[in-house]
Amino acid sequence: MQAATSAQQQIETDLTALSATEQASLVRQGKISSLELVEAHIARIEAVNPVLNAVVVKRYEEARAEAREADRRRLQGEALGPLHGVPVSVKECLDLAGTPSTFGLPSRASMRAEQDDAYVARLRAAGAIVLGKTNVAQLLMFVESDNPLYGRSNNPWDLQRTPGGSSGGEAAIIAAGGAALGLGTDIGGSVRAPAAFCGIASMKPTAGRLPDAGRHSMPFGQRAIVSQVGVLARHVADVALGLEVANGGREPAAEPPMPLHDWTAVDVSRLRVACYLDDGLFPVAPAVRRAVQEAATILSDAGARVTPWQPPAVPHAYQLSLGLFSADCGAGFRETLGGNKRDPRIAMLVALAARSRFTLGALGGLLRLFGQHGLAGGLQAFGHGDTAHYWKLVEAQIDYQERFRAALDQDEGGPFDLILCPAMSLPAWKHGAARDLTLGGAYSILYNLLGYPAGVVPVTRVRANEESDRPASADLVQRAARKTEEGSAGLPVGVQVVARPWREHVALAAMQEIERVARQQPDFPFTPRVPC
């Protein structure tokens, strides 16, 4: 009996290790059934979810019924979509008919969506079968997936660390083999930070391609930096397929049409790549530096011209982002939260946003007096709360976008097609570190401010001899960073690949080349061994 059980577990593991494109191909050929795939992924979720707490809304019976119908359609010779019979998951904030979309707000737990979000509907129309919805940060506003309703999600590589946020539950279950691919959202790194922390791939598209309303997160009227729906998967080719499906096809019929070019037709050898290791705001961990350097070598070996480069005025861009997000002094957050229990990190953010310029200036001066420059720097953008200042911030954002574009066009080695840089400054953070490490996410938020498409691809894992070279410091931010680096050996590390607007296909081609070579290396982060 034990041998039979072990054999069954091996079959399930083999199925869940397949890429989404492989799964879809096998279903189309009749070599496996959709029901087999669904059952294997349900078994995997049930095995790992007790320790990950990644899937917070399950729809197993509905998924089984949909799988049977998918198998019937194949047997009847009906037209099949590109994801026919493939088990997927979606971020909890995206509407799925009959399930709640709470954003981590207990008051919304009893509400049920009447119809699917547009991008979820496209995924299902392509044949995908949604197994469940995954955990988020409250209001989707910090780099952990933890909230008073569903609790805390854990990283499959180290349960004492976060899978990231706000799409952390999504990344965790995909990394652990519970879903082939999934949808998340990204307004400040929310599909890229979790991908980097969990050792998978993801893509945030150009601002405006897949806009996400997110009406229970950042106030919808804040249109300077807009949330986008993004795709997460273990393989770059699956990210590309998911993006095409969510886009409505390469040449979508929807208005306005947002065509996607063929990423497989891009000649990587002809690309010009700008590469940087440090944004001038927050130093990265040694393994992150190495990952970017290795990715640069891979692209250079493929014939691309890779040039060291420095993005202009990143500290200024970071302050612009914070200013735009907090322009209403947190009024929108307070209204959305209402009487709900608040996650401590959200409570701190809302409290700071409501303080006057005078109070924040005094607090910043006090922090600097005690050597807390990292925390003090995060206060500069808060406390304005007037429309005139918001207009000035938007104008400054436009000016910065022009300055950045000019640098890509005119700096030595350009004009550049791509940017290669860290995805996050550190490997997966320890639980609770988001309180002090907001600066550590600046590498991703920059490209939300700019609106550029940006993807993450895994490259390596932290080696035992390279956990940290960060000097001891009294600064709480730097101390939190050093603490995060300690004990990080074995954790996955990804890099960020950024393209110019509407050129997702160029980034995907480079990501595919990086993945192809990196997968041959012994340090590549394959599926983690989650303690069940």
Q: Please confirm, yes or no, whether 425 is among the known catalytic residues.
A: no
Supply 348's token pair: 């701190």
Query: What are the φ/ψ torsions at residue 273 (nearest 5 degrees)?
Result: -120, 125
Q: Please confirm, yes or no, whether 488 is among the known catalytic residues.
A: no
Count Cβ neighbours within 10 Å for each residue of 397-414 and write b for 16 or more, e otherwise: beebbeebeebbeebeeb
Supply 511's token pair: 């990501």
89 DSSP β-pair partners: 132, 182
Distance CA 22, CA 34 (A): 12
Q: Which amino acid is at 262?
A: D
CB 425 within 8 A of CB 301: no
Q: Which residues contact 77 (CB under 8 A, 6 or more apart)?
A: none
Q: Which residues contact 84 (CB under 8 A, 6 or more apart)?
A: 24, 27, 28, 34, 70, 73, 74, 126, 127
Distance CA 233, CA 240 (A): 9
Reduced to 3 states, what is the DSSP secondary structure of residue 89? strand
Say which of 34, 101, 166, 202 is annotated catalytic: 166
Closest CA to 349 of 320, 380, 384, 379: 379
Q: Please confirm, yes or no, whether 269 is among the known catalytic residues.
A: no
Closest CA to 218 of 337, 134, 340, 112: 337
Distance CA 324, CA 382 (A): 9
CB 73 within 8 A of CB 125: no
Largest separation between any pair of C-alpha atoms in the chain: 74
Query: What are the φ/ψ torsions at residue 342 (nearest 5 degrees)?
Result: -105, 135
CB 123 within 8 A of CB 246: yes
H-run or E-run covering 493: strand 492-499
Distance CA 355, CA 345 (A): 16
Distance CA 504, CA 58 (A): 32
Say which of 190, 202, 425, 488 is annotated catalytic: 190
Spacing of C-alpha 387 from chain mean position: 31
Say which of 91, 133, 204, 430 is annotated catalytic: 91
Catalytic (active-site) positions? 91, 166, 190
